Structure formats: C-alpha cells, structure tokens
Amino acid sequence: MFLTNRNAFFIFLGGTAISLAIFLWLTVDTHRQVDALTHAEKLSDQVVAGKHVWEKKNCNECHTILGFGVYYAPDMTRVYKRIGPAGIKAAVMSPEVTFASSIRKMPNLGVTEQENADLTAFLEWVGNIDNHDWPPQDTEEAMSASQRRLAGAGLSRGASAFQENCIRCHSLGGSGGSNGPALDSIGDKYNAGTISRLIAEPASVQPGSRMMAFPDISESDRQAIGEFLAKQGGGQ
C-alpha cells in the first residue's frame, strides 16, 4: 500500500516545505515593495511619534486600523481624509463633547496638543498607504459620491469649508453627522457674521452650548461657512 506511515511523513514534510517556500518568497517580495506602497519617504519621526501615541493610548483596542484591531469604534485607515485634522482634534481632545449624543462614547484619554499633532501626522501617513483602496466606505469614489450628494455640481468655498470642518457632527439636507443639530434652517436664526463668531467661540453666541470651539479655523473660512449656511434658509 502506498500510504505507509513513512510516505505519510514525507507528504507532511513536502507539503509543508512547498507552502513555506511560497510564503517566504512572497515575504521577501513584500519587503521589496513595501516602501513604495506605504510611501516610506514620508514616514517621518513625527509619524513614528504618532504611532507611539496610538499605542500608548490604546487606540487600537477599540478602533481598527487597516481593518485590524477591535470593532467597537470606526476604522481609522482613512480617517484623515474622512474628517480632517479638525475632526480628529475634536474627537481626540474633547470626546465628551464631540460624542455627547452618540450611542457609544469615547473616553477622554488626556491627549496633549503635541500628542494630538503627532497622532494626526501618523493618521495622515496611514491614509495614503496603497492598500488596494480599502475600506470600501472611504474609497475615493465613495467620498466623491457623498460630495456630489451634498453640493451638486461644484463646491463653493463655504461649502467645502463646511464639509471639511462641520459635516462630521452637523447635517445639511439629510447628509452628515448627528452629534450636533441639523443646520438646514440656521440661516433663519443667525446671519453670516454671527455664525462665524459661533464657530470660533460658541458660548459667546449660545451660552451653555455643548459645541466645542474652533478658533483654529481661519476667519475667512469661518466667514465663508457663515455665508454658505446663512443662505441655506430652511423656511421655504
């Protein structure tokens, strides 16, 4: 009979060797290509510092990145493109405000300004890794689809600034986040200048507001957002 114990042993050795050879060969190939695929020339010390922050603050124990980690909170692979540096800052530095009305909360991890800057650099670098356009919800195509849905043919400066900074929490025409109120009819209440002031310092317009302040958004951008929102007018 062919299948003696001795032959079975050789099948074991042979099969293992073939599979191992393929595996190791592709591993070598991965090392050859990974610098180009991950844009290693942009992997600065600040990016590495950001990776340390990512690990120190245990981010991966709730979030996935490149789809790996824990499925309790959103994937961070393309977060830089999805919500931008202002969105990252709002989530990381004051989660208790940003996620006040979310069904799932994020702990305040006491991240410093410097740590946030490093982390943001890290997430920006990760966002450019060429990983065959994963995740599906954050592909270029998916993102441009949501842009089209929001703004029609082209984006005015105010609309694009709104999209970059506000849409994560606020919605317009049914698109956007639900942490803050929908802004379709804010034009009935405030004019452009008031909205601009509200963005920089919410409490100056609405005492006791839960919204976080965005003094880092330039005054001209704030004004453009204000003009864009003021003319939306939900009344009609």
Partner 1 sequence: MSTPFTTMSPSTGGLGMGPRDPKLVPYASQRVAYWYFVSALALFTLQVIVGLWLAISYAFTIPQSVVDVLPFGMTRAMHTNLLVLWMLLGFMGGTYYLVPEEAEREIYSVKLAYFQLLAFLATGVAALVGFTFGWTQGRPLLEIPTPLDFIVVVGALIFLFNVAMTVIKGKKTAILGMLLGGLTFLALLYLFGMPFYRNLSIDWFYWWWVVHLWVEGAWELVTAAILAFVLIKITGVDRKVIEKYLYIETALFLFTGLAGTGHHYYWLGAPRAWLWIGGIFSAMEVLPIIAMVIDSFLTQRRHGIAINNKVVWTFALGTAVGHLVGAGVFGFAHTLPQINYYTHGSQITASHGHLAFFGAYALLNLTMFWYAMPRLRGISQFRSSAALWGFWIMCLSILGIGIAMGVAGVIQTYVERVMGEGFMTAQGYMQLWFKVVLFFGVIMLGGLILTFWNIMTGKQSKEQQ
Distance from C-alpha of 92 to C-alpha of 47, rounded to nearest angstrom: 17
Among 46, 131, 209, 232, which residue sits at the site for partner 1 (rule: CB under 8 A)? 131
118 binds partner 1 (CB under 8 A): no
Residue of 37, 181, 189, 204 that binds partner 1 (CB under 8 A): 37
Q: Could you give the CA distance from residue 232 to residue 34 in angstroms, rounded to a whole number?
A: 47
Q: Going residue by residue from 176 to 205, which x/- string records binding to partner 1, judged by CB under 8 A?
A: -x----------------------------
Give the pair of three-digit tokens for residue 231.
């003319």
Instruction: Write down the least CB distance from residue 43 to partner 1, Å.
Output: 6
- When asked if residue 124 is in the footprint of partner 1 (CB under 8 A), the reply is no
- Looking at residues 51 to 90 of the shown chain, list those that interact with partner 1 (rule: CB under 8 A): 51, 54-62, 64-75
**109 versus 182: smaller Cβ distance to partner 1:** 109
Q: Interacting stretch for partner 1, rule CB under 8 A, among 16-24, 112-120, 191-199, 216-224?
A: 16-24
